[in-house]
Structure 1
């Protein structure tokens, strides 16, 4: 086991970051792409077919980000609600663009059966900086709880609060990238003054089921659909993916609500977190987006069949 702080350029080994270290970390973050031109413009183009709502704003001076949700235009209270979220981790690109591609290409297939609520980019500051955390070095996907320290998480919780009890499906679109191992896990350990030992990034797509509400058939239906688009991650030598036992090919389980994860916020019967692997030599960005779309469609299709 090695000390993360010894290999990370910020902080003192064994000591959690204070305000000075967080400020130093923030000063190193650089904008690499535009939320306005790549995401907001795509949302605006969808406004001729969907209802667009601004559900909050994030203020990270000098930057300000409007948060958008897209809803079915023919919303009916008697229909089940399907929630699709992307960009909870802003650097996970296919989560954002897969959600937008689903709206553009496939959402009309479900228009007369469900209410769609899609939040394609929960974390726009991190989207622009290709980062996992927000500007306060907080991971939104460990912060979905009451009195959340992350503005991104708190805003999404406020958005869905009036719909509790109506959700049938929540699918949260993510990626696992090589930078999880090279940058984000070392940064996390340094921030918290802890130690890490090297891990292994799965080569392929996988899902995270809810250990408190396991739905193996639902997860399998998604795996089967995505396997036609891109490869499913095999287990490592320990029969695991990212340190968790693989309960079926390409499927692990976490206690979603306990960990403050986005996929645990709705109380829906069917929930999952997708994990695409964009750094694989066997996958293209187009395949990654298509895999997310296939996962969303398979999730809705399965949920609409009586079980």
Structure 2
């Protein structure tokens, strides 16, 4: 199979039929073999009924329905697990991503020049204050922190070589950082393509300003995992050694001063250096313990189910 189109969605019943017909038109005009995977992330409208109708008339449509809303990352993870195409295209269900971009994205991946190609909505139709400016700040911080030189980490329109999505693990709210996760896994051929961004035609956005706050927090998580996820003791141990050395230095100074320089002076416990020494040595020990616990968790962790599927259509294990 040439292409799998993975579409996570939440309450997008109005746009699904139009999006399906648009994708099918593009696939047929380019003679692609394809599948469309709709992942219903706990919709409360008639999105799932629409998906079932589409699947009944088009056997290339596959559907996954979560028991409740688990988040976009979990929806993508479920779609990636079921995708069979050589090239996987992800897009949002709100018609703001154009299926007309699919052939060029496919060719970029199929050529072997790229493992992953991310869309760049250079011209946006979103609110400047609530979305554009925060998005620019977020993308700048993501570039500086991750080292991945992309202009638009948040763009839902991306293309992947199949091996990428079968290797990386998308969890939490890490869908924004799939290129960073891919780079951390060893996929260095990451590209970017300017794509058309369209005004929202139906409904309203499901993401508020909180996504940027969560995004920055997730960025710190990605930074930590990419650098110390396999060796947490290297970070916590180094901090522990530093804090313990500082504390031991103050303690040694107090001891030498009391024994040899000013034995009749005030008590050690009356001096602020004593509390600095005590606090820093305790913190140093705590960092060491955190590092050891991190190493133990890393070696004993088990895969946990992060979402629960209610129904599936035309899917196989």
More helix by share: 2
Same fold (TM over 0.5): no
Structure with max Cα Rg: 2
Q: Using structure 2 for the length normalisation, give the TM-score.
A: 0.30
Q: Using structure 1 for the length normalisation, give the TM-score.
A: 0.31
